[in-house]
Amino acid sequence: MAASALSKEAMHPFPIDMYAYQNRLRDAHPAEKMLFAGLTILICLIASSPLVALLAIGIVTVAVVRVAGIPLRAFWYFVRLPAGFILIGVLTLAITSVDPANPATLLALPIGPWHVGVMESSLARAVQVASVSFSCVASMLALALTTPMVDITDQLRKWRVPQLFIELMVLMYRFIFVFIETAQAMYIAQNARLGYSNWRRSLQSVGMLAANLYLRSQTRASALFTALTARGYSGELRVLTAQPTWSRRNLVLIAGVESVLLLAAIATW
């Protein structure tokens, strides 16, 4: 089951949309899911506590896996890329110039006349930033995996968000998938010609893919915009959306979960 789920993400050109339309929370009111994600992110940012962040990650994971019915390994498939960027970024917070004689120094490596290492304060700061960032990313990903883009934009229109912002968001979302689909098609074509049969050919194929990817994607994006213009596009994309209803049960659950996070934040203070 898990292997088949991972093969879906690897082969489907729009894997996030696939789960957004096929999860068990698809028919829930999009504002409820946006409220859950927004309040979770807000509490994590205000608390700035690793314990609260870990609790939020656990709650979000349970919501995605148990409630929405999205496989855990599929959720990790999407989380791992931003998680890698977060871990690389916090290394610059953990590693700093240190004084070997300082008792708070955990690790010191001599580099010429300087000493570079990890201190208790820098390590604590790195853990704090990493945990809070990861909880925010997980919350946003939970929203993306359970709510189609058309539902989000429909809610933003009802909230009187500027139309220009919404249209830019929609077009950028679509062009990102054009970029991914183009890269996937080029990779499959190279692989079919044994472009990754050995290390030397792999490096050459990756270089060729990187050199041509932007030009191919730009050509497809321009063709897409031309097609929209030919069909009367005037700066606003309108699509038919369902009219969901608010669920009192879901609102009570959201209030209960966020109350637990809020109490945990107060306890850490």
Residues 140, 182 within the same domain: no
Residues 249, 234 within the same domain: no
Residues 113, 193 within the same domain: no
Residues 142, 173 within the same domain: no
Checking if the pLDDT of 56 tops 90, the result is: yes
| Residue 186 domain flag | yes
| Residue 134 domain flag | yes
The predicted structure's pLDDT at residue 14: 61
Q: How many domains does the chain have?
A: 2
| Residue 155 domain flag | no
List strands edge to edge, sheet with 105-111.
95-97, 114-119, 105-111
Residues 74, 45 within the same domain: yes
Residues 33, 78 within the same domain: yes
**Domain span at 84:** 1-147+245-269
The predicted structure's pLDDT at residue 228: 78
Residues 128, 182 within the same domain: no
| Residue 136 domain flag | yes
What global pTM score does this model have?
Answer: 0.79
Residues 252, 192 within the same domain: no
Residues 91, 196 within the same domain: no
The predicted structure's pLDDT at residue 127: 92
Give pLDDT tens digits for 253-267. Answer: 999 999 999 999 999
| Residue 152 domain flag | no
Residue 2's pLDDT band (boundaries 50, 70, 90)? very low
Give the integer Cα–Cα distance in Å for 94 and 197: 39
In contact, 170 and 224? CB cutoff 8 Å: no
| Residue 156 domain flag | no
The predicted structure's pLDDT at residue 84: 85
| Residue 190 domain flag | yes
In terms of pLDDT, which residue wins out, 56 or 113? Answer: 56
The predicted structure's pLDDT at residue 114: 81
Q: Which range among 2-16, 95-109, 220-234 shows the weakest confidence by mean pLDDT?
A: 2-16
Residues 30, 126 within the same domain: yes
Give the integer Cα–Cα distance in Å for 7 and 101: 53
Give pLDDT tens digits for 92-127. Answer: 888 888 877 777 778 887 887 788 888 888 888 999
Residues 68, 174 within the same domain: no
In terms of pLDDT, which residue wins out, 258 or 13? Answer: 258
Give the integer Cα–Cα distance in Å for 134 and 84: 10
Q: Share the mean pLDDT of the chain.
A: 85
Residue 1's pLDDT band (boundaries 50, 70, 90)? very low
| Residue 153 domain flag | no
Residues 126, 230 within the same domain: no
For residue 64, what are its two tokens?
A: 């995605």
